[in-house]
Structure 1
């Protein structure tokens, strides 16, 4: 029998308050999509996810809290992000502009630029993004620390 440890990690943001918020939104069913940069996959030499693939959702403490299944993967220019995507991200965005502003703030953060190895990294309408839509297929019991 393969346990959840056989699954690759499904990471949202960096550990801390934002990841905690995003993980909670996934667990509540509000967040059913996430958007990353194609260049992140290239820098990590990582293949794009595929529909049907399952991963372990990881919280800020590095614990596996749920199994998520990718239902759809779409690669598109940032300028084509639409309201459905902004709403499906489950972070309370009511417009594409709000969604984009928050994502640009994250993508332009020092931590993100450092991870990409490009201190001057900036996104624009032509920047290629990877949209993953997913669903929670199993919640995992998380052992509470002492």
Structure 2
């Protein structure tokens, strides 16, 4: 039976492991106003296809949100904003846009998983937000490149 809340899922996880007093945040992938897209990305995470993500550094600084750090825990929410799993950050690096590797693009699990497709999709995705913040996307735009693993599932 899936947990009813993020706190219940976290408590269930803590019964099976020692997190050494760690805390968690809730998280989803994609635009919350597009629940079908969020669900599709959640499904990729749960299937083990999506194990990485990239976000412009500007998104963290503009929103005044902490950059993911190795060892961070997140309660993964699905398209209905319900908790379905716990993911843990295992790599977090600051890398220029055109230095994101083909391997990382593959592990993001979207599109055809090539670096060319990744750059096309991410340019389309990141440009409007960066421009709204008075920035532009270029080869040197700093990106937070993150790798994570599913450490607990609600099902």
- Normalising by the residue count of structure 1, what TM-score does the alignment of the two structures yield? 0.83
Asked whether the equivalents of residues 86 and 93 of structure 1 are also in contact (C-alpha less than 8 Å), the reply is no
Asked whether the equivalents of residues 55 and 69 of structure 1 are also in contact (C-alpha less than 8 Å), the reply is yes
- Normalising by the residue count of structure 2, what TM-score does the alignment of the two structures yield? 0.78
Q: Once the 2 structures are TM-superposed, how far is the Cα of residue 122 of structure 1 from its aligned partner?
A: 3.2
Please point out which of 91, 94, 98 is paired with 1:79.
98
SS in 2 for 1:108: helix
Deviation per CA, 1:59-113, whole angstroms, max 9, x where unpaired? 121111110000010111001011101110011434211011111111134xxx3
Structure 1, unmatched stretches of 5+, are 142-146
Matches within 5 A, 1:1-146: 3=8, 4=10, 7-15=24-32, 16=34, 17-109=36-128, 113=129, 118=132, 121-141=135-155
Structure 2, unmatched stretches of 5+, are 1-6, 12-22
The count of residues paired between Structure 1 and Structure 2 equals: 135
Two-structure CA RMSD over aligned residues (Å) = 2.1
